Amino acid sequence: MNSERILQDSITENLIVEKRGASGWVTFNDPGRHNAVSYAMWEAIPQALEAFANDPAIRVVVLNGAGERAFVSGANISQFDTLRSGEDAVQAYEKVAEAAQLALYDYGKPTIARIKGYCIGGGLNIALCCDLRIASDDSSFAIPAGKLGLGYRMTAIRNLVTAVGPARALEIFLTAARYSASTAKELGLLHQVTTVDALDQTVQDYISMISANAPLTLFAGKKMIRQLQQLGPEVDTEAMRQLVMACFESNDYREGRKAFAEKRKPVFTGT
């Protein structure tokens, strides 16, 4: 299938945006860092999605990771000392990351996460913002926020609970355990698990099925489902945001970053 790359002159080179027939592809392209999401990549996601939204030939959007080892391994922790340190910096980073997440979560066209390899932290949240998640059997999944001392935003928690339910969400979040693809499917994180060799054909089968359906019908149904998943008015979102900020301002967050850089286990004190 012919591929046409777009936006390469206006966004970071670490996000590849392509048209492939009736599907648009967004590829996280930093395999040396296991496709960890940088600030510039967060900024580029809404632009990529908007380009596909404005193209009637695109019926479905696929998110993908470059290389063979990762979908997205999380946020680019090497940027945390400058972009996620101090209240103003954290708020600016969270604003951009949240905008990218919501652009994907609220997107009008169907979305598929094609997962091969690591799907960790922010990478798993990106996948959970997609409508369908298809993974190869060599993939692995985790939300290791507790091992880093960072705050995990309310909408990301909502996405996790929506996918697996509150009981399993608590297990996944509190243990920060890593799960195989087969276990992730049992938990409800995935729709399909395939062999490595069958992954691309399975994704293409879904693209073909979705592309054959009426776009307005899919748009309406998806919008209704998303409405049912919205946070209720009784949720104090500002209080939840303050809880997240308290994590980023804590000694534990500083210890988590330092321990990660030094490749050792952190010693948390709850302060």
Per-residue tokens: 68: 């063979």
Alpha-carbon dihedral sign for residues 186, 187, 193, 195: negative
pLDDT tens across 45-59, in order?
999 999 999 999 999
User: Can you tell me the distance from the alpha carbon of 247 to that of 80, in angstroms, rounded to the nearest whole number?
Assistant: 14
Is pLDDT larger for residue 86 or for residue 161? 161
Closest C-alpha to 65, from 104, 31, 21, 41 = 31
Rounded CA-CA distance 23/72 in Å is 20
| Residue 71 near residue 140, CB atoms below 8 Å | no
How confident is the model over 100-112, as pLDDT tens digits?
999 999 999 999 9
54-77: pLDDT as tens digits:
999 999 999 999 999 999 998 876
Average pLDDT on 165-193 reads 98
Q: How many H-runs (helices) and E-runs (strands) does the chain carry? A: 12, 11
The C-alpha angle with vertex 159 and arms to 46 and 109, in degrees rounded to 5, equals: 45
> Are the C-beta atoms of 132 and 223 separated by less than 8 Å?
no
**Domains and their CATH numbers in the chain:** 4-195+215-221 (3.90.226.10)
Is the pTM higher than 0.75? The answer reads yes
Separation of alpha carbons 149 and 256, rounded Å = 6
